[in-house]
C-alpha cells in the first residue's frame, strides 16, 4: 500500500465564510488573510509536511515537536515569515491519534477478514476508512478536554 503524501498548511484567525457569488453562480467559501496564509503554506508544503504559522504554533507548542523555519519567503507577503514544520505530536495528543488509528485499522481488518475480502481494493479501503474515521470521531475527542486551538 503506497503512502499518501499530502502537504498541509495551517493558520488561525478571523475569516469571512458564507455563500458568495451571483444569482447564477453561488458557492460557499472562506476568504481573508488567514485563508490566504494557510493556502500559501499548503502550497509550500511537500508531501508529509505540516507547515503552521507562528500564531498556530503559539497555541499548540506544548503538544507538538516542530522544526522552526526562519525567513521563509512566501508569495504575496512582503516580509519573510517564520514557520514551523510539525514533525511529531507529544503527550495526550499523540496517544489520542494513535488510539484512533489503531481502532480504525483494527475495525477495517476485522471487516475485511469477515467478508473474505482484501485490502488490495483501493475503493474498498477508502470507503471503509472514511466510514470508520467518521464513526470514531463521534466517540473519541482528538484534543484532550479543555484544550482549544
> What sign results for the dihedral spanned by CA atoms 66, 64, 99, 42?
negative
Q: Which residues of the chain have pLDDT under 70?
A: 1-4, 111-113, 115-149
Give the pLDDT confidence score for residue 46 in this predicted structure.
87
* Alpha carbon distance 84, 50 (integer Å): 8
CA 17, 6, 92 angle in degrees (round to 5)?
80
pLDDT at 119: 56
State the Cα–Cα distance between residues 44 and 73, nearest whole angstrom: 10
Q: What pLDDT was estimated at residue 75?
A: 87
- 147 burial class (0-12, 13-18, 19+ CB within 10 angstroms)? middle
pTM value is 0.66
Amino acid at each position: 500500500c503506497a503512502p499518501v503524501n499530502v502537504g498541509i498548511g495551517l493558520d488561525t484567525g478571523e475569516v469571512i465564510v458564507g455563500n458568495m457569488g451571483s444569482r447564477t453562480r453561488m458557492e460557499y467559501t472562506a476568504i481573508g488573510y488567514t485563508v490566504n496564509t494557510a493556502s500559501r503554506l499548503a502550497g509550500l508544503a511537500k508531501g508529509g509536511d505540516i507547515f503552521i504559522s507562528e500564531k498556530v504554533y503559539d497555541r499548540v507548542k506544548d503538544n507538538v515537536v516542530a522544526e522552526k523555519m526562519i525567513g521563509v519567503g512566501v508569495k504575496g507577503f512582503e516580509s519573510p515569515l517564520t514557520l514551523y514544520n510539525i514533525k511529531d505530536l507529544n503527550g495526550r495528543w499523540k496517544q489520542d491519534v494513535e488510539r484512533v488509528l489503531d481502532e480504525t485499522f483494527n475495525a477495517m481488518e476485522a471487516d475485511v477478514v469477515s467478508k473474505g475480502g482484501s485490502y488490495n481494493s483501493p475503493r474498498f479501503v477508502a470507503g471503509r476508512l472514511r466510514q470508520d474515521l467518521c464513526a470514531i470521531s463521534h466517540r473519541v475527542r482528538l484534543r484532550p478536554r479543555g484544550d482549544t486551538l
